[in-house]
């Protein structure tokens, strides 16, 4: 139910494209009404599709790590952070209790009432309160995170992934304990580069395979490996062998690579095997 409600709130907020502000003091004669609106504002309550936006929902949004923030700058610019998706906006104060916000081609009026900014659309009512903190830094982080996610999505859409088969497969181990082979080089959508490793546990023991520090280098440069696989007796698995430090720019960099894979008894942590191989 909470997930459904989150979606309904997001749909409503996206539709109206407006957020709110709290009144820091109604203006007296001659006071610039813009001063009532400048600052950072957060969703604090209201109703949406007949559901009350209680304090529980506000806490739930925080737990999800999503923000509903409006920053209004004194120069009439601002930004709308809607569930961590950020848009630029323009705004103006019509009078001491009314402001208009424009996002893209859509403009919406909001009203200040009792120190809160009220946005009403049909039976829905959203209430915003002015924060005592400058939230522009939070909005900036959300914008950067959204841009990074968009870059990743575009990379996936552009099929910015690569797999190169290693033929014949390189054998790391083949004994009574296990068989380990390296079958592919890969680059994934996150930009990580490494090897695809197939392992079969031939023993009657519960084993954990891992890449120990100090046994991996790429073309003569030491790298810190990232690899772990837990296999029950008689089972097999396909895992990725990557590098947690020392970036590689492309698969062309992954040459003359020496990797180490060791094994220990899962229950007792007793080392039982150590293997190493060089992949051209």
Same domain, 107 and 146: yes
**Domain residues for 183?**
162-279
pLDDT tens column, 135-183:
999 999 989 888 877 776 665 555 567 889 999 999 999 999 999 999 9
Single residue among 96, 126, 157 that ends a domain in this structure: 157
Residue 78 sits in a domain of what CATH number? 2.40.128
Supply the mean pLDDT for the chain: 84
Single residue among 157, 181, 212 that ends a domain in this structure: 157
Residue 250 sits in a domain of what CATH number? 2.60.40.10
Same domain, 134 and 29: yes
**pLDDT at residue 31 greater than cutoff 80:** no
Cα distances (angstroms) measured from residue 67 to each of 21, 23, 58, 125: 15, 21, 10, 18
Helix 2-16 × helix 55-64 angle, to 10°: 90
Same domain, 171 and 149: no
Same domain, 183 and 119: no
Same domain, 153 and 166: no
Residues 80-96, mean pLDDT to the nearest whole number? 90
What is the distance, to the nearest Å, from the Cα of residue 57 to the centroid of all Cα atoms in its chain?
Answer: 21
**pLDDT at residue 18 greater than cutoff 80:** no
Same domain, 26 and 55: yes
Same domain, 135 and 166: no
Residues 185-206, mean pLDDT to the nearest whole number? 91
Total domains in the fold of the chain: 2
pLDDT tens column, 100-119:
999 888 888 888 998 888 88
Question: What pLDDT band is residue 5 in, cutting at 50, 70 and 90?
Answer: very low
> Where do the H-state alpha helices sit in 17-66?
55-64
Single residue among 137, 157, 177 that ends a domain in this structure: 157
Same domain, 173 and 145: no
Q: Given this model, what pLDDT does residue 259 score?
A: 95
Which is nearest to 255 in space by CA: 235, 239, 271, 279? 279
Same domain, 141 and 251: no
Same domain, 80 and 153: yes
Same domain, 92 and 215: no
Q: Which residues pair with 200 in a beta bridge?
A: 179, 236
- Cβ within 8 Å of residue 233, ≥6 positions away: 201, 203, 204, 205, 206
Cβ atoms within 10 Å, residue 224: 12
**pLDDT at residue 194 greater than cutoff 80:** yes
| CA 255/CA 191 separation, integer angstroms | 17
Q: Given this model, what pLDDT does residue 84 score?
A: 80
Same domain, 19 and 151: yes
Question: What pLDDT band is residue 188 in, cutting at 50, 70 and 90?
Answer: confident
Q: Given this model, what pLDDT does residue 157 score?
A: 52
Q: Which residue has the higher pLDDT, 199 or 19?
A: 199
Reported residue count of the chain is: 280
């Amino acid at each position: 139910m909470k997930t459904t409600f989150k979606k309904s709130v997001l749909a409503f907020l996206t539709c109206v494209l407006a957020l709110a502000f709290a009144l820091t003091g109604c203006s007296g004669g001659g006071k610039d009404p813009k001063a009532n609106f400048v600052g950072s504002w957060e969703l604090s309550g209201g109703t949406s599709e007949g559901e009350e936006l209680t304090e529980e929902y506000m806490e739930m949004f925080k737990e999800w790590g999503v923000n509903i923030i409006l920053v209004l700058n004194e120069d009439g610019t601002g930004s709308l952070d809607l569930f961590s998706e950020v848009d630029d906006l323009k705004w103006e104060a019509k009078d001491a209790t009314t402001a208009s916000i424009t996002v893209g081609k859509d403009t919406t009026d909001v009203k200040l009432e009792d120190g809160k900014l009220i946005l009403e659309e049909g039976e829905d009512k959203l209430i915003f309160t002015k924060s005592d903190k400058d939230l522009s830094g939070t909005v900036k982080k959300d914008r950067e995170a959204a841009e990074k996610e968009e870059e990743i999505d575009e990379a996936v859409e552009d099929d910015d992934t690569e797999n190169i088969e290693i033929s014949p497969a390189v054998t790391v181990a083949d004994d009574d304990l296990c068989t380990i082979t390296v079958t592919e080089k890969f680059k994934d959508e996150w930009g990580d580069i490494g090897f695809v490793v197939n392992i079969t546990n031939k023993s009657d023991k519960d084993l954990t395979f891992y890449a120990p520090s100090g046994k991996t280098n790429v073309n003569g440069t030491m790298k810190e490996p990232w690899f772990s696989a837990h296999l029950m007796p008689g089972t097999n698995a396909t895992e990725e062998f990557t590098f947690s430090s020392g970036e590689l720019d492309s698969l062309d960099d992954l040459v003359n690579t020496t990797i180490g894979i060791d094994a220990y008894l899962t229950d007792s942590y007793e080392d039982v095997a150590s293997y190493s191989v060089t992949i051209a």
